[in-house]
Each structure stands twice: as C-alpha cells, then as structure tokens.
Structure 1
Amino acid sequence: MPVHADHPPSIDVTALAAVLDGTTAGVAVFDTELRYMYVNPALVRHNGLPPAAHLGRRPSEVMPDIDAREDLMHAVLADGRAREITSSGRLPAASGTARCYWHGAYHRLEISERVVGVVGIVLEVVASDDEQRRLAQAQRHLSLLDSANTRIGTTLDMDTTCAELADLVVPGIADVAIVEVFPRDVAPPVRPAPPGVVRLRRAAMSAVRGLSPGAERFGVAGDYIDHQEDAAVPRCLATDLPIVENLTDEEQLNRSAPSPEWADAYRDLGLHSAVVVPVSVRGAPIGILGLMRGGGSPVFSDDDVVVARELAGRAAVHLDHARRFTHEHTIALELQRSLLSEPRPPHPHIEVATRYLPADRSVLVGGDWFDVIPLPDGRHLKAMGDVMGHGVEAAVAMSHYRSLLRLLADEELPPHRILQQLDRMVERSGIDRAATCLLAVVDRDGEMCEVASAGHLPPVFIDPGAAGTRICDVPAGPPLGTGFGGYRSAKMECGPGTVLFMYTDGLVERRDEDIDACVARLRELTLPEDGDLETLLDRVLERFGPGAEDDIAVMASRTRVEPV
C-alpha cells in the first residue's frame, strides 16, 4: 500500500494505488492546496525521495530547485482545463549539476462535481545528441571568451600577445592556430616581397600534440610567410571578413594555401577545414588568425567563426596598445640615446666613462642624462640630471635642460649660480617637468672640485690606493623648475687620479629602504687594480643594478696625472 496523507473520505487512495502503482510514468495527486496526497513508486524512484518526504508538502517545498509551475496547477484547479508543460531543474538526490527535463500533463480531479485536487503525470525527457553537442559547444565557447579576459594581453609585447591568442584557441576551437602580422608592426622585412604577394610575419603558432611535429612545416615564429595572390589570407585582408575553406576539395585547397608546398603539408597532416579571420583595429587589418582542423574533429560551424572573430577582435585591441607602446618606446629610446651619446672629453687629459641602464625593457625610458662641458682656463663642468617621469615628454624635457645648461656654462659662474640661473630659465620657458641636477666644476689641474646640487644625490670621490672613498657633503637645494632657488656650493679637494663618480637615484634607491643607508653603501666602492674606469662602472652596475626600480645613469671621470 502506498503511503498517503490525510485526505477527504471521498477519495479512494487505495483504488488509485491499485491502478497507478504499476505504471512507469510518475504520478502524483495533489489536494486543492497543492499538497501531495499520493505519489506512485515510479515518481518516488525518479525524485529519489521516499513517499513520506512528499506527503503533506507542496512541490516547491520538496524540490526547491525544480521549476514546478504551481501557477499552472492553480489555473487547472480554477478552470478545469488540462495543461501540458515542460519543466526543468535539478533533483535533490541527483549528483553533480546536470539539469533534468520533464514533460507533464495536469488534470483537475473532481468527485461528485466537487473539486478535490489535481493529478499530475510526468515523464522525463532527454535532449537529443545534437542538442547536447550544441550545448557542450556553447559551453566551450563561453569558457574561451571568459578565459580571453585574463589570458590575452598580459604584456605590452606584440609577439607575446599573439602567442597567448594561439595558445588559447588550441585545442578549444582548433587543432592548429597561427597568428601572422604585417612586418612593419614588429620588424622590417628581410627582403622585398615579390609583386602580387602578401608578406606577413609569423608571430605565433600552436598545435595539438599529435600535429605539433608536422605543423613545423608551416614555419616557426619569426619567419616571413609569402601568400600567393588568391590565397585565403589575402582575400581575408582585402575584405576584412572571415574566410572559411573546405580543404578536402582540391580546388579550394590549392587556392587557400599560401603556396603549393603548404597545400602538400595540409594533405599530409589530414587537415580538412580552415578559417581565416582578420585581426583589425578601427577597420584597418594588422594581421590574421588562422585556424585549422583535421582528423576526427568536426568542420567549423558558424558559431566557431563568430567566436574566432570575437577572440581576434579582443586580441587586436591589445596588439594595438602594444604597437603604440613599441612606437613611443622606440622614439623615446632613440631620442634619449642621441642625447646621451658618449660625451667628448673637454681636454685630452680628462677621462670619462658612462653607462645608461633602463630599469626594464617594458618600461618607457626616462629623463636621466649626463654631460661634460669644457670651460675657459682649462676648467670643465660635469653634470648629472634626472627629469621626473618617463616617455617621450621626459626625454624632450631632458634635452631642454641640457641645452639651457650648455648656454649657461659659458658665463663662467660657480655651480650654485648656474643652478639658480637654470631654475629661473626653466620657470620662464614653460617646461612643466621638474628635474634634479648635480653640477661639479673641476679646475685645470684637477686638484679642486666645486659641487652644487638641485635635489640630486651627492657625488662620490674615489681616491686611488688606500686613501679611501668619500661622499661629498653637498647642500641639496630644491629640484629645478620649482622656482625656489637657494642653492649652495661645496668644495672638495682632489688628489692625483681621484675619480669623481656621479649617478642617478635608480642606482641606489630601493623600496622600503632608507635612502641615506643606500647612499652610504657607495663608500665601499674601490678602483680596480688597473684603475680602468670602464671596469669600475661594470662592477658598480653588477653590484647595484639588480633590483633597480628606475633607470640608472652613471658617470666616472678623472684628470690624468700627465696629459697625453
């Protein structure tokens, strides 16, 4: 006998059980409040709950994750019209997160013209294999698009971004993926392209494990690929639209491949379909994403093409950022290199060695600079400066500072007066970037050095032999461009062969470390046994360069004991 709740005596549940217990369809009887009065064994097995867990409770209470449509059941009670509907949800006893589907029919139950409840008959339905495949494909596509947010564009390097795109789509939607860009976006071509040929540079390629060795026949990253005039890639670039090719058709295969050799490789690897989508920014293509499938993989669907184009579009934004960064970085670097060219010694008896070390290749160059300027009477001016910020603007501001300093050097002023004049000129010229600066005027014989600082770290005097190393106690005035002035000079005696070492803060400044302690470590500097200045700077950068958070400029100079 089935278990049942209290019910009106007019309903013979025993009679219901005799009829319905043996059916394979799930059957339930509800009272007018939609509380279970009866459940047959088939429904008990399906729901995975005992009869007692149903009786006296509403469907929404027994199975809260099921779309039970109690509103529809109320409508059946109200008008007596039977209704059918498909419901879905997750059963309480089901494992995992798989969604189940049911088709149910609901009828009003009447006895002696009295409405006593609702009877529901449900059958589980299973999605077709094709629907399940489409659902799985949609889930993979959504996962790819979600992953693209974190896996593409992690750096400002174009080739890295292309590699991230290729690695993302394999094996998600392709067995082989290639990314190619126009040579001008990454490097100049090694040779001119023949007429009617589109030349791209292979930026990245990825393939599933079984195809990786054979895919090397397509070339490797860095190769230049020439595409014949009617191949898939030129057609894609010309129309800025995806091109889908059936590689099992000989005519399409021969036309699609960049060259006849590639067509042979497609055949040998068993590739049967290909998609080429443009990688474009503001309607202008900068390259392509090529996808291929082979073996037992299905041909590309329309949804695959849509997802591929969406991924290519997202990558294009990052590639455009990387291209702009590379362009600006190159301009700034070339400008700074030209301005930081090796200063010519002002006299034959002056030795100078310099180095410039960017903190990181991915960081825009800054405004570090140095100079050596000859003065009347055999004296010379040595300068080390650092303009605030990075990029083209900082490098341009640095060139203004250097030009103004050279103009002022001819006035034969002491270093603190030069800084005062330079501060006023910068304020009047409209240069909107402050800068630190250290000036040192050395007399003809190299026995006396007069030093002044505009917010710059003090110089170091390295005496030969056992004399030791001294850090100049120079009063540090405000940076240039602030208009405060108030600079003072300090004089330091120099012995024969004393080396003046000047540097920017990137050499010693470290996060969470006291700057005075960092500068104090420079007391440990000593000259190499042979006294070579180039070797000295190599050792300095080897010791202090690692971990630098800013660009480093260093200069070592001295007066030779005997002029050559």
Structure 2
Amino acid sequence: MANWHQPFRPPAVDTAGGGISAPDLRKPVGVAELRAAASAIGTTLDEGTTCLELTRAAVAQAGGAAAVLPAGRAVGSGYEAVSGNPCLLPEAGQAGVVVCGSGEPAEGGAVSWSPGGGRTALSVPLVTGSHSYGTLVCARAEAPFTRAEADHMAFLAERAASHIRHAREHDAVSSIVGKLQRALLAEPGRPHPNLDVAIRYLPVGQSSLVGGDWCETVRLHFGRTLLVVGDVMGHGLEAAVDMTAYRSSLRYIASADLPPHRVLRQLDEMASGEPDRRPATCLLARLDPNRGQVTLASAGHLPPVVIDGEGRASLLPVPVGPPLGTGLGGYEPATYRLAPGQTLMLFTDGLVEHRGEDIDQSLDRLTGVGFGTASGVEQVLDTVVARLDVQQAEDDVAVLAARIRDRRTQD
C-alpha cells in the first residue's frame, strides 16, 4: 500500500472548459484536459449530481471505475454515484476499512492500495477546509495509479467537495425559509363566521416558498374583520423575516381596533424606526357585514377588485399613501357599500404585472376576467389563477377573496 500525504497544490481552473474525452493512459493528463474535467463538476446545486459528475470525470481521466463512499455511514454500507465498470471496484466494506485505517490524510492526501484480483485502487478524500463529505474510490486493472494521477484525482475531489458544501448550505437555508414561510401561511388568522374567505399564495417558480408577500385576517369587535394583503420588497430569507416582522406588528396594532389608515400610520412609524427593515406595500380592508360596508386604506398598494353578482369585476379606487417603512405617513381611508352577493378581492402585484406592460393594462386584464354568477370565493380564486395564468407569474402572488354571508343562508 502506497500512501501519498504530500500537500496538493492545484493549478488554476478555467470553468469555461469543454467536454471530456476518454483518457490515453500512455501519457500524462494535460492541463487543458484537467480543466475540462473540473469544469464539468458542480453544474447544479444537487449533491447527487455533483458526485456523479466527479466519478464520470475520474473515469474519463484514469479509466476503470469510480464511486463515492459517503462519510458518516457504516463501513460497507455501499457506494453511490458509480461510474465505469462496477466489477472493478473493491467491495465497499474493504474500501471502508482502508479509508478508516489510513489515518487523517493531509490536504489533498490519497491512498493507493491493492484490493486483489490484479486490480489497483485509489482512495481520495472529499475534503474542503475542515469539511469532509466522504471518499472518492477509483479502481482499474491496468498499471498502478501514478502520483500525478493521484494529484489530479485530489484536485477533482476537492472541487467536488466545495460544490457539495455549497449545495448543503443552500439546502439548509432553503429549508429554514420554507419552514418559516409555511408556518406563516398556515395561520392567516380567523375571520368572523359572517364572512367567507379564501386565500392563495403562489411563490414564483416551483422551487421553494420564499418571498415577502402575505395575506392576513384579523377579528375585530362588533363582527368586523380586517383583511390584509402586503408585499415586502425583494425575495429570500431577508424578505421573509421582514414580512414576519410586519405581520406581527400589524396584529398587535390592529388589536386596538383603530381605523385602517391609522393602523398603517402606526405600522409605518414602527417600521421606519428600524433602518434595516425593508419597505413594504400594504392594503387594509375593514369589512363590516352588519352595515354592509368596507373601509380601505393603502400604503403604496394596488387597489382591490369588487365582483358583483353577475361576475363582473371593477376596481375600487383608494387614496394611495407611501409604502410602509418610509416614515412619511399620509394615509387616507375610503369607504364603500358591499352587498352579500359581492366579492372583494385583494392581491399583490405579482397577480397582474407583466414586465414591460403598463400597470393600467395589467389591471384592465384582471377586470376583464368573467367570474360567473354562482361562484363561491374558492371558485373566484380558482378562476383568476387560471385565467391570468398565475403559474407563469414573474413574481410571488398572494390573493385573498372575501364575501359577506347572506344571513338567510347561515345556520
């Protein structure tokens, strides 16, 4: 068994390299070939894909077979990402014993050994910094691996380990943000039973629940309910955290049962006192079923839509104040009649906006949707999502529909 523990110093990497061709084992691998091999590793943020790209590159460089022995597994638990002829690989248990018994390798260290049957094997740690992700195991029936080949495999393994680290960090952050967003969306509050309410949240793309859009309902006194739609600037963890802060503050302020414009004023003052808080737009609608009216106030947000009993939609004009977090205030209310057969719909701009299109055109497209005469609030949202092709939206979408229940139909 030959042990190589001399520190490995990789050459500069040109990530614009081309494809990988089968190696000529009679001559050493050139720098251009090594660059090409390295550029094919880490093309995605998927750990399994990165491991497979590594083993394919190893086989292309040295022939035979290659696989990854994951870290933290029981000895002999099996290989992953196998490339080449798997019959050439030593048993995973045998490779695990060699890896465990080789001691802590130096940076870029590799172990050359003979698994029997006329084969030679090479074990290279998948290490970057202080992080270890397993071992690259290469095997072939030709001549033993040279020191130059071991250095090349160590370079490729280090590159793969770096991408694996990035993939795991990305997955960890995405998991945190997804759990945060799901927890928030799972509890939008409970309206009074005199309202029918439906909510949809559709994140842009299909990868994760990340963003600053939110919907909320807050019970008030005398059978009234405060409906809320907001949109924090940006995406990602920071936007989700700020959205949480806005939502928590709004619940606290709304508990005092202030008019909507005064709720916005206090929320703006609170947010402007935190310099790191991102600005947000917000629309409040206080629905009073007993009086059959809705009072609206807007902080830089698009107006709501009211849908009549015939399924026709129209905008409700609202005085627009500055976004929350600016400290400028200046919010004003607007009150309208709302009959039991009418549906009020609040939404974020992702529902209607298209890049390069005037916002008036976008809103005209929304009001042109025919909603039918017998649709409930769930069907209203199904219709608008389908007719506006929200699955292809360019931004996150949050939309809320509410309708006063007809007392004659209540239990």
Which residue of the partner structure matches residue 206 of structure 1? 83
Aligned match for 1:284, one of 110, 113, 131: 131
Deviation at 1:500, TM superposition (A): 2.0
Counterpart in 2 of 1:55? none
Taking structure 1 as reference, are residues 172 and 384 closer, same or farther at Cα in structure 2, changes over 3 Å only? same
Distance 2:322 2:315 in 1: 20
Alignment-derived partner of residue 388 in structure 1:
233
Deviations 1:202-258 (A, max 9, x none): 3x3333xxx47x79x99xxxxxx9857953444468546423232335xxxxxxxxx
Q: Deviations over 1:280-300 (max 9, x none)?
A: 121220233232334xx5442
CA distance in 1, matches of 2:129, 2:51: 18
Letter in 1 for 2:51: C
Match 2:351 to one of 484, 507, 519 = 507
Q: 2:140 corresponds to which residue? A: 293
Structure 2 distance, partners of 1:298, 1:142, is: 23
How far apart are 1:307 and its partner, in Å? 0.8
Q: Work out the CA distance in 2 between the residues paired with 1:458 and 1:502.
A: 8
1:434-513 aligned within 5 A:
434-445=279-290, 447-464=292-309, 466-513=310-357
Letter in 2 for 1:405: L
- Going from structure 1 to structure 2, the CA distance change for 1:405 and 1:180 (only over 3 Å counts) comes to farther
In the alignment, what sits opposite 1:178? 67
- 2:211 matched to 1:320? no
8 Å contact 2:229–2:282 — kept in the other structure? yes
Q: Deviations over 1:38-92 (max 9, x none)?
A: xxxxxxxxxxxxxxxxxxxxxxxxxxxxxxxxxxxxxxxxxxxxxxxxxxxxxxx
User: Of 245, 257, 262, which residue of structure 1 is paired with 2:113?
Assistant: 245
TM-aligned CA distance change 1:298 to 1:394, over 3 Å: same
Quote the offset at 1:308 in angstroms. 1.0
Deviation readout 1:476-519 (Å, 9 max, x if unpaired) = 22110011112222233322232222222222223222233223
- Secondary structure of the residue aligned to 1:510 is coil
Q: Distance in 2 between matches of 1:450 and 1:385?
A: 17
Unaligned stretches of 5+ residues in structure 1: 1-131, 184-192, 219-224, 250-270
Change (3 A) 1:160 1:525: farther
- Number of the residue aligned with 1:137: 28
**Distance in 1, Cα, partners of 2:79 & 2:273:** 49
Q: Conserved in 2, the CA contact under 8 Å of 1:350 and 1:560?
A: yes
Q: Pick from 250, 270, 275 the counterpart of residue 122 of structure 2.
A: 275
After TM superposition, the structure 1 stretch with the greater mean CA deviation from structure 2, 230-239 or 321-330, is 230-239
The 2-side partners of 1:315 and 1:343 are apart by: 42
Q: 1:205 to 1:230 in 2, by over 3 A?
A: closer
- Secondary structure of 2:257's counterpart equals coil
Do the aligned partners of 1:446 and 1:496 also contact (CA within 8 Å) in 2?
Answer: no
The question of whether the paired residues in 1 share the 8 Å contact of 2:136 and 2:157 is answered with yes
Instruction: Please point out which of 27, 31, 38 is paired with 1:148.
Output: 38
Structure number with bigger Rg: 1
C-alpha distance in 1, partners of 2:371/2:79? 49
Decide whether aligned partners of structure 1 residues 229 and 290 sit closer, same or farther in structure 2, where only a CA change above 3 A counts.
Answer: closer
**Amino acid across the alignment from 1:505:** D
- Residues 84-123 of structure 1: pairs in structure 2 closer than 5 A: none
Instruction: Give distance in 1, aligned partners of 2:209 and 2:311.
Output: 40
Q: Greater RCO between the two (CA within 8 Å, min separation 6)?
A: 2
Return the letter of the residue paired with 1:278: P
* Shift of residue 446, structure 1, vs aligned partner: 7.1
Sequence identity (%):
40
C-alpha change, 1:388 and 1:180, in structure 2 (3 Å) is: farther
Structure 1 pair 526–161 and aligned structure 2 pair: CA distance change class (3 A): farther
Mapped to 2, the partners of 1:508 and 1:182 lie a distance apart of 48
Distance change in 2, residues 1:329/1:458 (3 Å): same
TM-score of the superposed pair, with normalisation by structure 1: 0.61
- Separation in 2 of the partners of 1:461 and 1:526? 12
**Tell me, which stretches of 5 or more residues in structure 2 are unaligned?**
1-23
Counterpart in 1 of 2:378? 534
Instruction: Write the distance in 2 (CA, Å) between the matches of 1:181 and 1:504.
Output: 45
Q: Please report the TM-score for the alignment, with normalisation by the length of structure 2.
A: 0.82
Which residue type is aligned with residue 157 of structure 1? Answer: D
Q: Which whole-Å CA distance do the structure 1 matches of 2:164 and 2:352 have between them?
A: 35
Contact 1:181 1:287 in 2 (8 A): yes
Measured in 2, the distance between the counterparts of 1:340 and 1:148 equals 42
Cα separation, 2, equivalents of 1:174 and 1:462: 68
Q: From the superposition, tell whether residues 200 and 387 of structure 1 become closer, same or farther in structure 2 (CA, over 3 Å).
A: farther
C-alpha distance in structure 1 between counterparts of 2:237 and 2:45, whole Å: 17
The answer (yes or no) to whether the contact 2:181–2:209 under 8 Å persists in 1 is: no
3-state SS of paired residue (2:326): coil
Aligned mates of 1:147, 1:474 — CA distance in 2: 60
Alpha carbons of 1:412 and 1:311: their partners in 2 closer, same or farther (altered >3 Å)? same
Amino acid paired to 1:343: P
Letter in 2 for 1:481: G
Q: Which moved more, 1:541-550 or 1:376-385?
A: 541-550
Q: 1:531 to 1:154 in 2, by over 3 A?
A: same
2:360 pairs with 1:516? yes
Deviation at 1:406, TM superposition (A): 1.0
Instruction: Write the distance in 2 (CA, Å) between the matches of 1:162 and 1:147.
Output: 13
Q: Is this contact kept in 2: 1:227–1:234, CA < 8 A?
A: no
| Contact residue 75 and residue 97 of structure 2 kept, 8 A | no
Whole-Å separation in 2 of the counterparts to 1:477 and 1:358: 26
1:441 Cα deviation after fit: 0.7
Aligned-residue CA RMSD (Å)? 3.1
1:337 correspondence with 2:214: no
Cα separation, 2, equivalents of 1:237 and 1:561: 76
- 1:154 is displaced (CA, Å) by 2.8
Q: Report the 3-state secondary structure (helix = DSSP H, G, I; strand = E; otherwise coil) of the residue aligned with 1:314.
A: helix
